[in-house]
Structure 1
Amino acid sequence: MAHIALPPGHIGIRGAMAFRPETARPMNDLVEILLTGPSTLTKGERELIATHVSNRNRTTFCHNVHGAIAAAHLGGNEALVQQVKTDYLQAEISAKLKALLTIAGKVQQDGKLVTQEDVTAARNEGATDLEIHDTILIAAAFCMYNRYVDGLGTEQPNDPDLYRERGKRTARDGYISSSAEYLARKN
């Protein structure tokens, strides 16, 4: 049960966004830019970064929904998403993404833990400064989103089919369209 009276029928961050919709747009704009905008990282790779951070923060809604979106972008490869959540260093992903996930994991703990050596290691695997920047911003933003969801005690079901359906729709339509459609249906 949520810590404050959130509108009924909304799960995860959707409940918080429905409570204060004027904050939903800028949050969705940021996630839209970071996860679906132009980038040399694929949408699937960026979703894996969001999933990795959300899983480390133990935010059920966020790691499940972003894991489902990542899987949708990765041809339905739920096993890869699960491997990234449990042991990304052994996952069949690029060395560059592993280096970026290391940075993201440090940001999740404390941004000051990121070292020049971490950045150099990512660059040595081919990461650009923009990719490093965006990885850090994705990790920082998802710490905020995770704390928002968990701090309000939002409803976070454990229904894989719900997340699969949502993940496919968001992968297809993006965050702003999916969020507007969702909130319009629920209000």
Structure 2
Amino acid sequence: MPHITLNSDAPGIRGLFMFRPETARPLNELVEVLLRQESTLSRGERELIAAYVSALNECRYCFSSHAAYAAAQLPEGMALVEQVRADLGAAPVSEKLRALLAIAAAVQQSGQKVSEQEIAAARETGATDLEIHDTVLIAAAFCMFNRYVDGLATIAPDDPASYTARAQRIVSDGYLALLAESQRQT
């Protein structure tokens, strides 16, 4: 049960966005830029970074959501997401993505945990400054989102199908379109 009385039964961050819609737009704009705008990292890879950080933070709602969004955009689907979650070192991802996910894991612990060695390792795999920047910002943003969702004890559905259904809408329409739709319904 959420720690505050929300004005909807929408799960996770969606319920919080309905409770305080003036915060919803800027937060969704940030996610839209980080996870969907043009980048040398695919949308699926960026969603995987968000899902991985959410798994490390043990945020069930955010992990389940972004795992579904990543799986919908990665050829290997949910199997890859689960492999990364279980053992990044053994997961079948590119060396560049592995290095970026290691940076994301360091950010999850503390921004000060990101080392010169991790940055150098990412650069050695071909990671650009923009990819490193965006990885750090995705990881930092999802630490905030995870703490927002869990700090207010929001509802997280148990049924993976609820996340999978929303994934198709995120993939096709994006975060801002779904935000606008949900705000019209309230």
* TM-score range relative to shorter protein: over 0.9
User: Which position in structure 2 is the counterpart of 1:24?
Assistant: 24
The one-letter code sitting in structure 1 at the alignment partner of 2:137 is L
Tell me if the contact between 1:60 and 1:158 (Cα under 8 Å) persists in the aligned partners: no
Q: Distance in 2 between matches of 1:176 and 1:87?
A: 33
Tell me if the contact between 2:36 and 2:43 (Cα under 8 Å) persists in the aligned partners: yes
Q: Distance in 1 between matches of 2:78 and 2:51?
A: 12
Query: What secondary structure is seen at the aligned counterpart in 1 of 2:87?
Result: helix
Q: Distance in 1 between matches of 2:67 and 2:179?
A: 17
Q: Distance in 2 between matches of 1:158 and 1:164?
A: 12
Structure 1 outlier segments of 4+, above 4 Å: none
The one-letter code sitting in structure 2 at the alignment partner of 1:147 is R
Structure 1 gap ranges (5+): none
What is the TM-score with the length of structure 1 in the denominator? 0.97
What is the TM-score with the length of structure 2 in the denominator? 0.97
CA RMSD of aligned residues (A): 1.0
Query: What secondary structure is seen at the aligned counterpart in 2 of 1:174?
Result: helix
Query: What secondary structure is seen at the aligned counterpart in 1 of 2:2?
Result: coil
Deviates more, 1:1-10 or 1:94-103: 1-10
Query: What secondary structure is seen at the aligned counterpart in 1 of 2:4?
Result: coil
User: Which position in structure 2 is the counterpart of 1:102?
Assistant: 102
User: Which position in structure 2 is the counterpart of 1:133?
Assistant: 133
Q: Distance in 2 between matches of 1:184 and 1:51?
A: 28
Tell me if the contact between 2:29 and 2:176 (Cα under 8 Å) persists in the aligned partners: yes
| 1:168 shift after superposition | 1.4
User: Which position in structure 1 is the counterpart of 2:60?
Assistant: 60
| Cα deviation digits, residues 31-80 of structure 1 (max 9, x gap) | 00000011100001000000000001111110001000001111461101
Structure 2 gap ranges (5+): none
The one-letter code sitting in structure 1 at the alignment partner of 2:111 is G
Q: What percent identity do the matched residue pairs reach?
A: 55
